[in-house]
Amino acid sequence: MNVTLEIETMKIPRQAYTAEFKELAVKRVNAGQSVASLAKELGLIEQTLRNWVTAAKAGKLNGEAVGRPVTTEQMELSRLRSENMRLKRECEIIKKATAYFAKDAR
């Protein structure tokens, strides 16, 4: 039996952020908020935020975007998707823990 596994690759669209959005994010990091917590809050990848901070220190942070500008609705949607994924992972952990402890109780 010859089974071929095909993996579909999904391209994640590259998002463009305004200069103001980048500057505000960098200011919050410089004010003491951790990169990890801010990235999670804004729905960004941590490395993207680190790159912005590095670029700002070098004076090269600009708002020129490769793609189209991101609207506030898109930013909120991105944040909600991130939160949804986190909650799903937490739910899976709870289900596994419940099954484990139910097995021990027998």
For the chain, domain boundaries: 19-105
pLDDT in tens, 3-50: 444 444 555 667 778 888 899 999 999 999 999 999 998 888 999 999
Residue 16 and residue 69: Cα distance in Å, rounded? 5
Quick check: 18 and 70 in contact, CB under 8 A?
Answer: yes
Return d(Cα 40, Cα 83) in angstroms, integer: 8
Kindly provide the b/e burial profile for residues 19-45, where b requires at least 16 CB atoms within 10 angstroms of the residue's own CB.
Answer: eebbeebbebbeeeeebeebbbebbbe
Among 73, 89, 17, 72, residue whose Cα is nearest residue 48? 17
pTM passes above 0.85: no
Which residues, in sequence order, are CB contacts of 38 under 8 Å at separation 6+? 25, 28, 29, 44, 49
Residue pLDDT, tens place only, 83-103? 999 999 999 999 999 999 998
